[in-house]
């Protein structure tokens, strides 16, 4: 089952020739979700062949312009191009008032239903549920209210062992109960334990997006064990005090977070424009957490399935 | 003396691969003014080698997103890249409240002085003056408050004929008075008429930007005799009723305006994305007003000097 991340923008603060402002598409079983929406995100969707109207839900980390200023244009273009499907936007307080005012002064009346859910809580909460996955949010540590997101598959059903259905003459409902973990009672009263009927399913996958944030211990628990962690990596160690002042991570801090949280892989993004070549950031992180790679605009990363041990 | 227009975006409503949303740079004696600011204008400035921080003043025609949604990002980037020079923005009411709210929710405190002048008047007014030129504004006829702009050189001084300074032993002040049109009285009382002392200067040039608007007779007077008229040309004649409904011009109407106003050249822009090839629009306009050309992203047009007859 498809679970991928397409990076639309991987730069911090301002766009450059090679890196647009923050935006990603998370595709989970064909449900496409936009995460952050820096200026020109609508162009980047086109550039990387993601149909704009296929965007199902939008999650904004925070309202700094490089994560948000592409939203009014994208929503307008969806309207002008005939969208009728409803759209939901999640993010910190301020989105709704901003969009309302911009649509008012531009005389725009969207022809689709736009629902804006403004997040304002501590701790981890499930904010969005689909049949096969959910999205959780938790506060980050930045200069304005900011949320991290975890995209999490629901535990898959167990797999029936080969031939089980015919051997015991199982109905569809029998199969479903067994896949959900029940044992099987035969007509003679014998109990067949579930472990003899099923194979373990693949593990549910999780993707965490943490951008922008300073380092804090509670992040380690929040992202513990995710398959892929994407964090900002605005600076290298030489600018650690600047990173702290501006509530950003260095590459080393991002890697420390990944190591302590025991994540599968770390994707660095949100690079300061001062780095023409981000090798210094990548090396700094890999020295601490080798399973690190760097985002670039257009990168498509498939999160692989894993079987339980 | 340089008087040029660089087109940053020439498409209507939504960006495409080949046309960004409306934006232009008018360069008058090195003073660079941005006219409209669709999304990605900051990228387009970089693309066409216009230094972002060299933008001196910004004029917005109206607040539809395709003319305005690039402004918050551009102003933020100017700030993040260290701008300290003040900046003035002109346009219809609603700009200030929109920017104030966006900068509030994004926690942005600009380090340069931003002055927003909201236009709300009928008729033609001079709204901005520089040493050698002025900018006039006048209302257009669109679905939201919209202004056209005329960039107008002030009349140049007369040119002294060769050798005049030495022949009459003129001081600097004498020369200035003669260049301003005065005759010269010699010590013996003889009056030398100005026409014997000077040559006519080149004619002051004018550039009119009218986008977006429906056709109306008052536009003809507003842009009468300008050297270059840039108007929208969203549709061709086949869509005239749609153009009227949406308060836009067809190519034929743009050409009719140019012909009736006796302008030098007509530049068409703001093409509907339905036209993969805009030849139909260009032909329609040229049949009525041959001195027509089409804008494209990146076009640089120099308005030539003309001598008085």
Q: Which helix (H) or strand (E) segment is B137 a member of?
A: strand B133-139
Band (A151; pLDDT cuts 50, 70, 90): very high
**Count of CB atoms within 10 A of residue B52's CB?**
17
B152-188 pLDDT tens trace: 999 888 999 999 999 999 999 999 999 999 999 999 9
Label the pairing between strands B114-118 and B87-91.
parallel
What is the value of ipTM here, to two decimals?
A: 0.91
The whole-number pLDDT of residue B280 equals 97
Angle A259-A262-A264 (CA atoms, 0-180°, nearest 5)? 100
Retrieve residue A9's tokens: 């923008």
Residue A188: how many other CB atoms lie within 10 Å: 5
Residue-level pLDDT at A307: 76
The tokens describing B38, both together, are 């669709």
**Touching check for A79 and chain B: CB below 8 Å?**
no
pLDDT at residue A29 is higher than 70: yes
Question: How far lies A159's CA from each of A137, A165, A216, A218, B27, in Å?
Answer: 30, 11, 40, 36, 69
Are B270 and B10 within 8 A, CB to CB? yes
The reply to whether A46 touches chain B by the CB within 8 Å rule is yes
Please answer yes or no on whether B69 and A102 come within 8 Å at the CB atom. Answer: yes
Closest residue on chain B to A69 (Cα): B73
Tokens representing A57? 């839900």
B91 in contact with chain A, both atoms CB, cutoff 8 A: no
Mean pLDDT (chain A, rounded) = 96
Mean pLDDT of A79-89: 97
Q: What is the pLDDT of residues A73-82, one digit of tens each?
A: 999 999 999 9
Q: What percentage of chain B has pLDDT greater than the value 70?
A: 99
Who among B42, B65, B77 is closest to A76 (CB)?
B65
CB neighbours of residue B300 within 10 Å: 12
**pLDDT for position B306:** 81
Rounded Cα gap, residues A182 and A48, in angstroms: 45
Residues A150-155, mean pLDDT to the nearest whole number = 95
Confirm or reject contact between A43 and chain B (CB < 8 A). yes
| Among the listed residues A120, A9, A137, the one whose alpha carbon sits nearest the alpha carbon of residue A70 | A9
Determine, for residues A64 and B144 on separate chains, whether the beta-carbon distance falls below 8 Å: no
Burial category of A126 from C-beta neighbours within 10 Å (exposed 0-12, middle 13-18, buried 19 and up): exposed
Give helix then strand counts, H and E, for chain B. 11, 18
DSSP string, B33-73: EEEEE-TTHHHHHHHTT--GGGEEEEE-S--SHHHHTTHHH
Rounded to two decimals, what is the model's pTM?
A: 0.92
pLDDT in tens, B8-45: 999 999 999 999 999 999 999 999 999 999 999 999 99
Task: List chain B residues with CB under 8 Å of A52.
Answer: none
Residues 100-129 of A with CB under 8 A from B: 101-102, 104-108
Band of pLDDT at residue A1, cut at 50, 70 and 90: low
- The domain segmentation of chain A, as residue ranges, is 3-156+201-302, 159-199
> What's the per-residue H, E or C state across B224-248?
CCCCEEEEECCECHHHHHHHHHCCC
A210 pLDDT higher than 80: yes
Is it the case that residue A264 has pLDDT exceeding 70? yes
**Cβ separation of A65 and B39 shorter than 8 Å?**
no
A42 CB neighbours in chain B (<8 A) are 14-15, 39
Q: Which CATH number fits domain A3-156+201-302: 3.30.1330.60, 3.30.200.20, 3.40.50.970, 3.60.15.10?
A: 3.60.15.10
Smallest Cβ–Cβ distance between A68 and the set B13, B15, B106 belongs to: B106
The per-residue pLDDT for A181 is: 93
Q: Is a pLDDT exceeding 70 seen at residue A240?
A: yes
The mean per-residue pLDDT over the stretch A210-223 comes to 97
Contact B65 A46 (CB under 8 A): no
Tell me the CA distances in angstroms from B158 to B131, B176, B192, one per residue in order.
16, 9, 15
Nearest to A14 among B17, B80, B94 (CB): B80
Q: So what's the pLDDT on residue A309?
A: 63
Q: What mean pLDDT comes out for the span B199-208?
A: 93
Residue of A nearest to B105 (CA): A94
First to last CA, chain B: 19
Using CA atoms, how far apart are residues B164 and B228, in angstroms rounded to an integer? 35
**CB-nearest partner of B14 from A14, A81, A94:** A81
Q: May I ask the CATH class of domain B3-156+202-302?
A: alpha beta
For chain A, what percent of residues have pLDDT higher than 90? 95
| Over residues B116-127, mean pLDDT | 98
Total residues belonging to chain B: 309
Task: Please report the pLDDT score of residue B309 as a whole number.
Answer: 62
169-228 of A, contacting B, C-beta below 8 A: none
Average pLDDT over residues A202-223: 96
State how far the Cα of B33 lies from the Cα of B201, in Å rounded to an integer: 25
H or E element: which one contains B31? strand B31-37
The whole-number pLDDT of residue B153 equals 95
């Amino acid at each position: 089952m498809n679970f991928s991340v397409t990076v639309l923008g991987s730069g911090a603060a301002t766009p450059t020739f090679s890196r647009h402002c923050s935006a990603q598409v998370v595709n989970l079983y064909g449900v496409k979700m936009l995460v952050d929406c820096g200026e020109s995100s609508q162009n980047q969707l086109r550039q990387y062949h993601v149909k704009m109207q296929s965007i199902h839900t939008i999650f904004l980390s925070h309202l700094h312009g490089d994560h948000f200023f592409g939203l009014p244009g994208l929503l307008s273009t969806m309207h002008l191009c005939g969208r009728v499907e409803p759209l939901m936007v999640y993010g910190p307080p301020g989105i709704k008032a901003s969009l309302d005012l911009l649509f008012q002064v531009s005389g725009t009346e969207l022809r689709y239903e736009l629902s804006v859910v403004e997040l304002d809580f501590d701790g981890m909460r499930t904010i969005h549920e689909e049949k096969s996955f959910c999205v959780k949010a938790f506060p980050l540590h930045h200069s304005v209210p900011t949320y991290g997101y975890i995209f999490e598959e629901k535990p898959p059903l167990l797999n029936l062992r080969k031939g089980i259905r015919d051997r015991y003459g199982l109905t569809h409902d029998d199969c479903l109960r067994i896949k959900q973990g029940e044992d099987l009672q035969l007509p003679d009263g014998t109990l067949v334990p579930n472990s003899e009927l099923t194979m373990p399913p693949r593990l549910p996958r999780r993707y965490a997006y943490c951008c922008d944030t300073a380092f804090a211990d509670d992040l380690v628990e929040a992202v513990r064990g995710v398959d892929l962690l994407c964090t900002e990596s605005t600076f290298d160690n030489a600018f650690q005090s600047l990173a702290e002042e501006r509530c950003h991570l260095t590459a080393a801090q991002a890697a420390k977070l990944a190591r302590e949280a025991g994540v599968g892989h770390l994707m660095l993004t949100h690079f300061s424009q001062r780095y023409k070549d981000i090798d210094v950031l990548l090396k700094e992180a890999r020295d601490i957490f080798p399973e690190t790679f760097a985002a670039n605009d257009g990168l498509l990363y498939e999160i692989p399935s894993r079987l339980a041990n």
